[in-house]
Amino acid sequence: MANILVFAESRGTDLRKVAGEAVSVARRLADASGGGEVHALLAGPPGIAQKADVLGRYGADVVLVMEHTALATFARESIAATLAARAKAASYRAIVLGFSAQGRDLGPRLAARLDAPIASDVIDVQVAGDALTVKHPAYANKVVVTLTVTGSPAIVSIRPAAITATESPRTARVETIQPGTDPAASRVKVTQVVEGAKGRPDLADAPVIVAGGRGLKAPENFKLVEELADAFGNAAVGATRAVTDEGWRPHADQIGQTGRQVSPQLYVAVGISGAIQHLAGMRTSKTIVAINKDKEAPIFKVADYGIVGDVLEVVPALTSAVREAKKGH
């Protein structure tokens, strides 16, 4: 029997989707190691405790609630100290968190503080007795590496949206936990949070991504991509490196080897030739649509549905067609 600790990530008073995925993975690991408990840290500004029942739904037995006004933004040092103190006080087989902006920062901090092994960005975790193995896409998703992780607690950060969260409902016990260090006294202070485009999901969470490349010819034509995303209604907008390097879009929107790696249900590549660096960021998408004027473009080698044509004509027509199709629902 072994317990698993989870960092249930939030931003403001919203739980992030990866929190449910992390709890779900932890539930499976606890069950596989003889039926231990899942303990989830829920840290945020006052009011975050209301999200405890969501974690119970995915299989958390205990929710450790830490509320503080300074937790409205990411208090990396305090959260790392809290998780490390908890892991030292109680024995855990593993600590599960997301490989997200927060989790990729926290994971290595915990590894160093606990002198514990860490596996990052995993898409599969298996535990059998003392052996814990993970699968991790490396070399920018071009090679899948199987790693054996020796020692406890094993710190495992999971790739967002790669592992489906399954429900395992229970009523979680809620306990209050004191911060390991004062969240307001960090050596790294968040002075401002700049929100991105409103009303659009993030690339990591969106079931549909519409991405634009240099085939759009000019920055003002990017509105065609935005309009198509709006027609789908639940779509995020991405871009190629060529486009972010030109300053048409912020670097945070870049999909590819050095940018974001995404796996939506539907990926629509607009005016994207499909350089190998771009493919590394999106080739695991479930369905790929490509619109490009060059029928030899490498994007058509991976596109389930390719249309050869001028994006400035095809995309507005597709936008209207998607709007019509949505109306029919």
Partner 1 sequence: MKIAVCIKRTPDSETRFRIGASGGAIDEAGVKFDMDDFASYAVEVALQMKEKAGSGEVVVVALGPDNVQETLRKAMSMGADRAIQLKADAVPFDGLAVAKALAAELKAGGFDLVLFGKHAFDTSAGVVGTATAELLDFPCVTAVSKLEIANGKGTARRELEGAAEMVEFALPAVVTIDEGIARPRYPSLKGIMAAKKKPLESKPAQLGPVRVAVKGMALPPDRPPGRIIGEGTAAIPELVKLLQTEAKVL
Q: Give residues 25-84 in contact with partner 1 (rule: CB under 8 A).
A: 73-74, 76-77, 80
Q: How far is the CB of 288 from partner 1 (least distance, A)?
A: 8
Q: Does 326 bind partner 1 (CB under 8 A)?
A: yes
Q: Contact 64/86 with Cβ under 8 angstroms? A: yes
Return the residue matching tokens 């495992």. 156
Please calculate the CA angle 111-18-149 and round it to the nearest 5 degrees. 35
Which residue among 56, 179, 201, 271 contacts partner 1 (CB under 8 A)?
Answer: 201
Q: Does 192 bind partner 1 (CB under 8 A)?
A: yes
Burial zone of 269 (CB within 10 Å; 0-12 exposed, 13-18 middle, 19+ buried): buried
Number of residues that bind partner 1 (CB under 8 A): 102
Nearer to partner 1, 62 or 111 (CB): 111
Q: Does 323 bind partner 1 (CB under 8 A)?
A: no
Q: Does 214 bind partner 1 (CB under 8 A)?
A: no
Q: Does 318 bind partner 1 (CB under 8 A)?
A: yes
Find residue 132's DSSP bridge partners.
Answer: 127, 149
Nearer to partner 1, 59 or 103 (CB): 103
Which residue among 60, 119, 161, 243 contacts partner 1 (CB under 8 A)?
Answer: 119
Q: Does 115 bind partner 1 (CB under 8 A)?
A: yes
Which residue among 90, 101, 184, 218 contacts partner 1 (CB under 8 A)?
Answer: 101
The candidate with the shortest Cα–Cα distance to 64, out of 89, 45, 88, 38, is 38
Question: Distance of CA 295 to CAs 273, 304, 309, Å?
Answer: 10, 14, 8
Q: Does 185 bind partner 1 (CB under 8 A)?
A: no
The candidate with the shortest Cα–Cα distance to 24, out of 208, 163, 185, 198, is 163
Q: Does 202 bind partner 1 (CB under 8 A)?
A: yes
Q: How far is the CB of 158 from partner 1 (least distance, A)?
A: 13
The candidate with the shortest Cα–Cα distance to 315, out of 255, 271, 249, 264, is 271
Residues of span 223-242 touching partner 1 by CB under 8 A = 232
Nearer to partner 1, 52 or 203 (CB): 203
Residues of span 164-183 touching partner 1 by CB under 8 A = none
Residues 6+ apart with CB under 8 A from 84: 109, 110, 113, 114, 180
Residues of span 125-144 touching partner 1 by CB under 8 A = 133, 136-144
Nearer to partner 1, 175 or 313 (CB): 313
Q: How far is the CB of 131 from partner 1 (least distance, A)?
A: 10
Residues 6+ apart with CB under 8 A from 54: 15, 19, 20
Which residue among 207, 214, 227, 230 contacts partner 1 (CB under 8 A)?
Answer: 207
The candidate with the shortest Cα–Cα distance to 157, out of 200, 116, 194, is 116
Pairing of strands 287-292, 62-67: unpaired
Question: Distance of CA 258 to CAs 65, 170, 184, 263, 279, Å?
Answer: 35, 40, 33, 15, 11
Residues of span 248-307 touching partner 1 by CB under 8 A = 251-252, 254, 257-259, 265-266, 276-277, 280, 283-284, 286-290, 295, 299-307
Q: Does 124 bind partner 1 (CB under 8 A)?
A: no
Residues of span 7-26 touching partner 1 by CB under 8 A = 11, 16
CA distance 61 to 3: 10
Q: Does 112 bind partner 1 (CB under 8 A)?
A: yes
Q: Contact 193/51 with Cβ under 8 angstroms? A: no
